[in-house]
Structures are given as structure tokens and as C-alpha cells.
Amino acid sequence: MPFLIMQPAASPDSSTATVEQDLASTSLPTVDELLDESAAPEESAPPPRYRLPQAAVPPNIMLQSAVTRLVEQKEQIDQVARNGLLAGLLPPEWSASPGNELRAFVASVVPFASDNVRGETIAARVPLKFLLGHSQRWGKPDVAEPNSLSAYLASDERANSGVSDHAEVMLLSPLGLGWTHAGRSRVGFLRAMGVESMAARVTALPYPAPEQLALYQVSNGGLTQFWCVMDKRRLRALPVPALSLPLLTAYGVAAPQAWPSNWPAPAEVDAALALARMGKGAAEVDLVKLVDKIGRDQANDAWTGASLMQLHTWVPRWRFFLTSFIGLPAGLLLLAALALPGRVEAAAVAAALGFAGGAIAALAAPWIYARRKHLS
């Protein structure tokens, strides 16, 4: 049978002494404190609880750091551009398409990033530190009630399709980098309010593996350029290498190399890029097609024997033509009439035949040299 150890009961005198000690140790508020009408500091509200899952990002710490750095740089660019201090200094494609500025930014900074091929779309929360926005229009100082607006824009309901002020995000899953397709301006505002994630309809996008990409540093015309080539064929220029190179190298792409000597000359590639920029979409050069074009151009520049009938770029000199093909036969007929007064008909026929034969020979005989590209 276990034994219970009982504590001795406290005597009345000891209880009274304890109460007196507690009263003596308790400090009462002073009169000034009682008359102070200033409100007591409010306790910070607990963070909101969200139901949606977090969008998955690669567990690569270096890649996450590079993506966060790119997002911060884009935020700073937006702030400076909003003040008008970068007018004329940014790539023209960033502002040439109103409403698609963010998409143009991603296309120029992240080569071969596209939303043409889309994966699954789910409702999720995207960490703002990995999300690109467009903060040039408005920010926290422009909002009268920022707390209520941030709670509204950050709520899970913004990920429901069909609701007002919904958000859509395109997420390059292999990179862990996202950009807003709808709700672009709220990203910077929510980040300024200390919100960590944003609810949106998230669409997963593919991206080439690091082994498919190669970076090259090229010196052309005294200027240093950086190009990215995918699958040893598709080439795109990096207009802002300071933003692109840290992200791509952290992703696993090898550092920029020298341009291979057996590939088309940088001047020819640069000319093809300039021609591609005149079209719609991202400027891209197909190196295989460029090699074929260079081969055809070299073959067309070769000299070969040809006739006037084969040329498609020649224009007759009419004064020379009238003098040679009309005046000369007429003069020959006159001389024949004077020299052979009894045989004018025979001389005329001989002159006409000679004129016709000379004309046919001049047009059809390959007595000239021309480049192949000038032949029909």
C-alpha cells in the first residue's frame, strides 16, 4: 500500500503574514498615472491564417538567392522609373507594349522564358520574394487605408476565378521565379506592407534544363555582348547581362565562353539579330538557318558566264540602243545604196539579217560575266 506524504497545514498567523508581504510588494499606480488619459499601446494583431498551399519552388539556396536579388532589383528599377530618372535608359521593349511591360521584362532578362506552353493551373500562395511585379503606377503612399487594402488583396479569395481583383501568376517552376499576369501593381504594395505571400491562380511554366543553355561573350565592333544559345541552335541576346547572368549561372548554366570559331562570324549574327528585332516577338536567330543562308549568299556572289536574257536586274540604255540598233543599220543601208545602186534590195536584206543575228547573239549568247544572285 503506497504511502501519501501530507504537507502540514499552514497556521492562521503564517497566512496573515504572507498576505501582508504580498500587499507590501505590490506597487499601486500613482495619481499622475491614474489621471493619464493616453491610450495604452495596442498589442500587435496575430498574423492572418491562410488555407491555400504555398507554391513549390526549387530547394536550391543559391538559385533562391539569385531570384530574390532579381526581384529586389526589379523593385528598385520600378521606383526609379516612376520618378522619371531612367527615361531613355531602359530597353525600349520594356515600355513599348503597355500592359505587357512585365512580360517584356521577363523575356529580355530570362532568355527563352515563354507562357505559350502552360502547365497545370491551381490556386496557391506565391512568396512575394520570388514574385516580379510592376510597381510604377501606385504604392503604399498612394493608399488611404493601406492595412485594410493589404488584408483584402492578400486574402485567399483573390485566388478564386471570377471574383473581383483576382490575381494570376505565371511561375517558371524550374527557376522558382514568377511574374504576375493579373494584379501586377499589388506586388510591391503588399511587399511594402510586410506581407510574405500573395494568393493567385498559379500556372506552371516549363523552362529549358541548364544543360540545354550555353552563354557566350562576344566582342563585336568594339562592344562586348552576351548571347544565350539553346540546343546549339536558337540564339538570343542578353540586353541586360547584369540581371541575366547571375540568375542563369545560379540555375546551373556554365559561365560565358568565347564564341566558337566554326560558327558564323559575330558580325553576321549581329546583323541577323538586328533584322529579327524589326519583327514581332523576341529577337531570335536560328544558327542552322543562318549557316545555310551564308552558304547560299557565298554561292550567289560567285561570278559566272551569262547572257543578257538571264539577267533580271539590267535596264537598257535607250540612247545607246537607238543609236546602235537603229541608227547603225540605217547608216549601213545608206552606204549600201550609194555603193551598190543596182543591188539595194540585196543590201537591205543583208543588213536586216545582220542586225537580227547580232541582236539575237547579243541577247542570248553568254558573252558577259555576272553574279549568280543577279540571274533569273
Residue 24 burial (10 A CB sphere; 0-12, 13-18, 19+): exposed
Q: What is the dihedral of CA 198, 180, 66, 227, to 10 degrees?
A: 170
- Residues 6+ away with beta carbon under 8 Å from 301: 371, 372, 373
The CA distance from 41 to 43, in Å, is 6
Contact 223, 274 (CB under 8 A): no
What SS3 class is residue 47?
A: coil
pLDDT at 345 over 50: yes
pLDDT category of residue 304 using cuts at 50, 70 and 90: low
pLDDT at 96 over 60: no
pLDDT digits (tens, 9 = 90+) for 23-59: 444 555 565 554 444 544 445 555 667 889 988 889 9
Q: Which three cell numbers stand for residue 136?
A: 510604377
Which of 47-51, 77-81, 157-161, 290-294 shows the lowest mean pLDDT across its residues? 47-51
Residue 15 burial (10 A CB sphere; 0-12, 13-18, 19+): exposed
pLDDT at 16 over 50: no
Mean pLDDT value of segment 130-137: 86
pLDDT at 215 over 90: yes
* Mean pLDDT of the chain, nearest integer: 78
CA distances from 212 to 108, 175, 215 (A): 18, 14, 10
What pLDDT is attached to residue 364? 63
What pLDDT is attached to residue 91? 72
* pTM of this structure: 0.68
Mean pLDDT value of segment 174-188: 91
Q: Which three cell numbers stand for residue 252?
A: 546551373
pLDDT at 246 over 60: yes
What pLDDT is attached to residue 268? 92
- Phi, psi (rounded to 5 degrees) for 258: -75, 150
pLDDT at 193 over 70: yes
What pLDDT is attached to residue 216? 96
Which of 172-181, 258-267, 297-306 shows the lowest mean pLDDT across its residues? 297-306
Contact 64, 58 (CB under 8 A): yes
Which of the pair, 7 or 153, is modelled with greater confidence?
153
Listed residue (80, 42, 85, 63) closest to 130, CA to CA: 63
